[in-house]
Amino acid sequence: MSEIFQNIPVIRYEGPDSTNPFAFKYYDPERVVMGKKMKDQLPFAMAWWHNLCANGVDMFGRGTADKRFGAAEEGTMEHAKAKVDAGIEFMKKLGIEYYCFHDVDLVPEADDINETNRRLDEIGDYILEKTKGTNIKCLWGTANMFSNPRFMNGAGSTNDVDVYCFAAAQVKKAIELTVKLGGRGYVFWGGRIEGYTEEKYSSFDSDLGKRIRKGETTLAELAARAALLKRVDTPISGKQEYLEGVLNNIILSGK
* Residue 9: half-sphere exposure toward Cβ, Cα within 13 Å: 8
Mean pLDDT lowest for which of 129-133, 149-153, 200-204?
Answer: 200-204
Q: Which pLDDT tens digit goes with each residue over 77-125?
A: 999 999 999 999 999 999 999 999 999 999 999 999 999 999 999 999 9
Tens-digit pLDDT profile for residues 155-177:
887 878 899 899 999 999 999 99
- Which run of H or E residues covers position 66? none
Residue 105 in contact with residue 158, Cβ under 8 Å?
Answer: no
| Residue-wise pLDDT tens digits, 23-49 | 999 999 999 999 999 999 988 999 999
Residues 183-205 have pLDDT tens digits of 999 998 754 444 444 554 677 77
If phi over 0 gives left and psi between -120 and 50 gives alpha, with beta otherwise, what is residue 69? Answer: left
For residues 159 and 204, is the Cβ–Cβ distance under 8 A? yes
| Helical ranges in 107-160 per DSSP H | 113-131
Kindly list the structural domains of the chain, giving each domain's residue range(s) and its CATH number in brackets, ordered by start.
43-253 (3.20.20.150)
Lowest mean pLDDT among 20-24, 70-74, 167-171, 207-211: 207-211
Residue 153 banded pLDDT, cuts 50, 70, 90 = confident
Catalytic residues: 102, 105
Query: What distance in Å separates the CA atoms of residue 242 and residue 16, rounded to the nearest whole number?
Result: 60
- Look at residue 192 in the predicted model and tell me its pLDDT: 46
Q: What is the CA radius of gyration of the chain?
A: 22
Give all strands of the β-sheet with 98-102 in edge-to-edge order. Answer: 45-47, 98-102, 137-142, 185-186
pLDDT of residue 172: 94
- Looking at every residue in the chain, the average pLDDT score rounds to 87
Q: With 70 as the cut, is the pLDDT of residue 61 above it?
A: yes
Please state, in angstroms and rounded to a whole number, the distance separating the CA atoms of residues 48 and 45: 9
Looking at residue 251, what is its pLDDT?
60
* Confidence (pLDDT) at 252: 63
Please give the Cα distance from 88 to 138 (Å, whole number). 12
Distances from the Cα of 165 to the Cα of 5, 131, 151, angstroms: 41, 33, 12
**Is residue 212's pLDDT more than 90?**
no
Residue 9 and residue 24: Cα distance in Å, rounded?
Answer: 12
Which H or E run contains 100?
strand 98-102
